[in-house]
Structure 1
């Protein structure tokens, strides 16, 4: 299945923000920031990545439901979804 870049623009933007947050976490660790701040930012990165993954899977589900010859079957989609949990 090919993902339409136009449909994926919000996901791409979310991933770019997560990339910036992850760089900030790395910087915080290198600067010796307190554990609470580092973990809070790391949780934000993790959440952003989860939301991006769920959005990609939702798009795949929608695509598969509208195609006569789905490229991913239900078992594969379930496996992808569960890999994010």
Structure 2
């Protein structure tokens, strides 16, 4: 889990830098298409982190199932709904 946590945090730090870059681009009145391209990259990065978190959650559900089958099913359904809403 620690390796995944580090991957997620590193990706979020890169995303934070990208957002600062977008702010600078807007301040410098750069071309619309360039700003949109960078915003798309930010969105993709955030989507990737969300996917990593959901995947970790699913993995945890399978590796450490709940004693109560109903509770286990609810956790799996919740993870699946997170993927579908994306």
The structure 1 segments of at least 4 consecutive aligned residues displaced by more than 3 Å after TM superposition are none
Note if 1:18 corresponds to 2:20: no
Post-superposition shift, 1:7? 2.9
Distance in 2 between residues matched to 1:66 and 1:48, nearest whole Å: 27
Structure with greater contact order relative to length (CA < 8 Å, sep ≥ 6): 1
* Equivalences, count: 80
Aligned to 2:84: 82
- From the CA coordinates, give the structure whose radius of gyration is larger: 2
Distance in 2 between residues matched to 1:68 and 1:76, nearest whole Å: 14
Q: State the SS of the aligned residue for 1:68.
A: coil
Q: TM-score, normalised by structure 2?
A: 0.82
Cα offsets for 1:5-43 (capped at 9, x unmatched): 443110110011011101111111111110011011111
Distance in 2 between residues matched to 1:43 and 1:7, nearest whole Å: 23
Aligned to 2:36: 39
Structure 2: stretches of 5+ with no match in the other structure: 67-71
